Amino acid sequence: MGVSSKIHTKSSEPATSPGAASSSSASLGPTQPAASGALQIGGRAPAIRSGDFDLGKLRGKRVVIFFYPKSDTPGCTKEACEFRDASKQFAKANAEIVGISPDKSEAQQKFAAKYTLPFTFVPDPDHSIAEAYGVWKEKSMYGRKYMGIERSTFVIGADGKVEKIFSKVKPEGHAAQVLEALAGQ
């Protein structure tokens, strides 16, 4: 049996065909923190509504939201494949995995198909979700400064509150770290 990934687009209508995307932004709801505010453990997670994805509909389950910079790049592939390889263990822990990147839906869909990634992806090309979670940051490479995703993961509890924050994540071994945190909660 093949595994399919769910790609959610940033429109008020669910995607009707694979790779369908819209340029409108996701709704973050009234729980969006101020731009300078940082999420805190125990605080309410910002709402995410994008296409047919609604974080609020996952109430009662724990949600692992991993923010990654770009689909189908070495580090992001390593991280996503580790989550894929541990997906049954996450399911046993009653945790849903959600990947968010600034990629368009089409890029996420190709990435998911290429590596048989069985979890939900939410495109964030206008980085509004990343900003709400405080992971859209200034970065530097070879002396050039630019804005981008700081690889981070959030564990959202069944009650919608932030249980754990992993910042500046190293891809290798990260899924195991998150599973360990789920087991310890």
Predicted TM-score of the model (pTM)? 0.81
Per-residue pLDDT tens digits for 28-76: 443 333 333 578 999 999 999 887 899 999 999 999 999 999 999 999 9
DSSP state of 152: E
Catalytic residue selected from 21, 39, 76, 132 = 76
d(CA 152, CA 168): 6
Task: Kindly state the average pLDDT of the residues 152-173.
Answer: 96
Per-residue pLDDT tens digits for 78-127: 999 999 999 999 999 999 999 999 999 999 999 999 999 999 999 999 99
DSSP 48-111: -EETTEEGGGGTTSEEEEEE-S-TTSHHHHHHHHHHHHTHHHHHHTTEEEEEEESS-HHHHHHH
Number of H helices and E strands in the chain, helices first, is: 5, 10
| Structural domain spans, the chain | 6-16+24-184
CATH of 6-16+24-184, one of 3.40.50.300, 3.30.1370.160, 3.40.30.10, 3.40.50.150: 3.40.30.10
81: annotated active-site residue: no
